[in-house]
Amino acid sequence: MADKKPVKAPREFVQLLKRAMDEHPEKPSLREVARRADISPAYLSLLLHGERSAPSNEAIARLEEVLNIPRGGLNEAAGKPDDTALEFFRHEKAAPPENEKEN
């Protein structure tokens, strides 16, 4: 069985994450950011090196909070809809009008 390479987070996501850590007023360490965001330091390190895919929306929201990134910024950089967008599309009002539905 061939080893699969992990899907990497988009470059824009990694750059935004690095920039937010570098520009944070408290200059928290990688370990401190990971602790506050409730993710492992190893995973955060792999993210910052572009060796892992973007985390779950929950982890992204925690990273945004810890690093003072505007809500949805990391989701957008990761090319992932945030939970608000997902909920909108799940809602029945997001369904196409009756005249556009397939028969």
2 has a pLDDT exceeding 80? no
CB neighbours of residue 43 within 10 Å: 15
pTM (predicted TM-score): 0.76
Within a domain: 56:
yes
Per-residue model confidence (pLDDT) at position 8 = 87
CATH of the domain at 78: 1.10.260.40
pLDDT tens sequence across 60-76: 999 999 999 999 999 99
Cα 22–Cα 28–Cα 31 angle in degrees, nearest 5: 115
Within a domain: 55:
yes
Within a domain: 3:
no
pLDDT tens sequence across 39-57: 999 999 999 998 999 999 9
